[in-house]
Structure 1
Amino acid sequence: MATAVLALALGGLQGCAVTSGQSSVGQYVDDATITTRVKARMAEDPTVAAMRIKVETLKGEVQLSGFATSQAEKDKAGAIAAAVPDVKGVRNSIVVSKPDQ
């Protein structure tokens, strides 16, 4: 089952153009894999609202953006991203905003 899901996910990459600044299709696939892993780990963590955080990866550098309700949530999202294999660095641009009261 996992193999079928992976095949479908990678099959969707066929015909995709390599974005500006990326050196090869292989690098694009690696970056897409890192992004998927970061998002999956955030979704598994109950202290991080993964739906409010955008994850982008370029040449192994992960960019986080979006909103968190506390500094602890922002820090945890950064730590999760940094712990993913093949991540070379994390730019944590998440904005901490107070929830409506």
Structure 2
Amino acid sequence: MKRHSLIAAAVLATAAVFSPLTHAQTHSNPPGRTAGEVVDDSVITTKVKAELLRAQATKSLKISVKTLDGVVNLSGSVESSEQMDSALRIVRGIKGVVDVKNNLQLR
């Protein structure tokens, strides 16, 4: 019984690792982009979201993050210019970010 559980866990772990790669290769490759480029952008997006949630000034904000070719596009609303500056500073500090497009709106 324990062996079956270990095998099932290994299969699930393998599927979790390769599922995003397979999805990127078959479903979300814009023309002219490799699966690696799509995965790189998704890693950057994940890092940006994690850092925005971690930072006190931006953790409660609803900021949309999209990345294409290392260019991060931020949209949503913030309550102050300090929050906007903080979000931009955080994003610019993440490895792999080439540029930041600021589409954040002050409320």
Name the TM-score, length of structure 2 as normaliser: 0.76
Q: CA deviation at 1:23?
A: 1.4
| Residue in 1 that maps onto 2:42 | 32
- When the two chains are superposed, the root-mean-square deviation of aligned CA atoms in Å is 2.2
> For the pair shown, which has the larger CA radius of gyration, 1 or 2?
2
Q: Which runs of 5+ in 2 are unaligned?
A: 1-11
- CA distance change for structure 1 residues 83 and 50 in 2, over 3 Å: closer, same or farther? farther
Q: Percent identity of the aligned residues?
A: 30
Q: Partner amino acid for 1:11?
A: S
Q: Partner amino acid for 1:35?
A: T
The answer (yes or no) to whether the contact 2:47–2:94 under 8 Å persists in 1 is: yes
Relative to its length, the structure with more helix (as a share) is 2
- CA distance change for structure 1 residues 65 and 31 in 2, over 3 Å: closer, same or farther? same
Name the TM-score, length of structure 1 as normaliser: 0.80
Q: Which runs of 5+ in 1 are unaligned?
A: none
| 1:15 to 2:23 alignment | yes
